[in-house]
Amino acid sequence: MQKTESVNKYLPWAALGVFTLLVLAFKMGGYPLTDNDEALYSQVAKELLGRKDWWTLYWHNEPWFIHAPLSMWIQAACFKLFGISEVSARLNSLI
């Protein structure tokens, strides 16, 4: 009985979280990559997929040390899992 009450206590919060993700994901791939940063980070993540070295970021085959790599690593993992598209490029922002 006590376990059911604790599950019911968190169910509205879980439902709110799922609803929020659905709202944020709505039309996520409906338009092309818009600003320079979004396209640049996608290109860096794309270049990570073609290299064995995931420690060094590259942009147009030149080492790129402007930002921390975690966001590009997540984006490259999304590209690897779901293919290269606008939707998978924006998944790391949704996460």
pLDDT in tens, 50-83: 888 888 898 888 888 888 889 889 999 999 999 9
Q: Is 30's pLDDT higher than 80?
A: no
Per-residue pLDDT band for 2 (boundaries 50, 70, 90) equals low
* DSSP string across 20-80: HHHHHHTTTTSS---SHHHHHHHHHHHHHHT-S--SS-EETTEE--SS-SHHHHHHHHHHH
Q: Given this model, what pLDDT does residue 13 score?
A: 82
Please report, as a single letter, which amino acid is at residue 51: R
Task: Report the alpha-carbon distance of residue 34 to residue 57 in Å, rounded.
Answer: 22
Q: Is 49's pLDDT higher than 60?
A: yes
Q: Is 28 exposed, middle or buried (0-12, 13-18, 19+ CB in 10 A)?
A: middle
Q: Given this model, what pLDDT does residue 3 score?
A: 61
Q: Given this model, what pLDDT does residue 79 score?
A: 92
pTM of the predicted structure, to 2 decimals: 0.70
